[in-house]
């Protein structure tokens, strides 16, 4: 059976670790299936493309005991970290974007981003990426 190749847009607007992790894992899985993948980080999700803040993301911050149990289980399962997933996405040629508005609102500099993360152009991003995507997934 032939693989179906799609243009996929993944948008992450949260900085809760489980949401970010799901966005990263979904994007990487789709990329590894041969799809073209754009991943956009807006609102608080912009913290996921910040080299330092990605390490501070919390799993279920409103339920710390459950969040800690989830993290222990992830370690037991030897799952890659969010940092590793971000590295793989960029290295494997996903296009990773940061929201320019949230960059300014949260005082983030280009040098804070992982190498390979670009600031999206609000005048063209939606027209050139979102509207042309076969699938738009939001986390």
Per-residue pLDDT of the chain (139 residues; tens, 9 = 90+): 677 799 999 999 999 999 999 999 999 999 999 999 999 999 999 999 999 999 999 999 899 999 999 999 999 999 999 999 999 999 999 999 999 999 999 999 999 999 999 999 988 999 999 999 999 999 9
pLDDT of amino acid 4: 79
Q: Does domain 7-138 have CATH number 3.40.1260.10?
A: yes
Taking the C-alpha atoms of residue 61 and residue 6, their distance in angstroms, rounded to an integer, is 34
The count of C-alpha atoms lying within 13 angstroms of the C-alpha of 134, restricted to the half-sphere facing its C-beta, is 9
Element (H, E) at 69: helix 64-76
**Which residues lie closer than 8 Å to 122 by C-beta, 6 or more apart?**
100, 101
pLDDT of amino acid 107: 95
Compute φ and ψ for 100, nearest 5 degrees: -65, -35
pLDDT of amino acid 77: 96
pLDDT of amino acid 125: 94
């Amino acid at each position: 059976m032939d693989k179906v190749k799609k243009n996929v847009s993944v948008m992450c607007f949260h900085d809760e670790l489980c949401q970010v992790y799901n966005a990263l894992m979904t994007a990487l899985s789709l990329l590894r299936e041969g799809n073209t993948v754009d991943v956009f980080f807006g609102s608080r999700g912009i913290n996921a493309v910040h080299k330092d803040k990605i390490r501070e993301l919390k799993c279920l911050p409103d339920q710390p005991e459950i969040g800690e149990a989830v993290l222990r289980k992830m370690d037991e399962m030897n799952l890659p970290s969010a940092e590793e997933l971000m590295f793989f996405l960029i290295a494997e040629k996903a296009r990773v974007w940061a929201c320019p508005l949230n960059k300014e609102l949260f005082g983030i500099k280009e040098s804070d981003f992982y190498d390979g993360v670009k600031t999206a152009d609000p005048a063209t991003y939606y027209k050139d990426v979102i509207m042309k995507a076969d699938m738009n997934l939001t986390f």
